[in-house]
């Protein structure tokens, strides 16, 4: 029997991933966390500056945002923080 456990919580502590390249050669080069989707990058970010190095010059760069929510054994949603 499938039980209904309700809506997941609001995302908290978004994770961000900096990736370079295109499929199938795209790869993640940095993982971080932040308490805001926009504030972390408002004044720049050292990892983004590193993407100006010659080895990344001709590659596409992408920023992915995500949050992880875990379903506990008690059937409660718990945001990963």
Per domain, the residue ranges of the chain are 15-79
Query: Sheet harboring 27-33: ordered strands across?
Result: 27-33, 15-20, 61-66
Q: CA 25, 80, 37, 26: dihedral to nearest 10 degrees?
A: 0
pTM of the model: 0.66
Cβ contacts of 56 within 8 Å, gap of 6 or more: 20, 29, 50
Per-residue pLDDT in tens (0 to 9) along the chain, 81 residues: 455 666 666 666 778 899 999 999 999 999 988 766 556 666 667 888 888 889 888 899 998 888 888 888 888 888 776
């Amino acid at each position: 029997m499938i039980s209904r456990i309700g809506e997941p919580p609001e995302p908290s502590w978004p994770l961000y991933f900096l990736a370079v390249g295109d499929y199938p050669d795209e790869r993640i080069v940095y993982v971080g966390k932040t308490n805001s989707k926009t504030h972390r990058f408002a004044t720049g970010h050292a990892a983004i500056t590193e993407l100006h190095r010659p080895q990344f010059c001709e590659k596409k760069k992408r920023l992915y945002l995500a949050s992880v929510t875990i379903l506990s054994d008690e059937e409660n949603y718990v945001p990963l923080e």
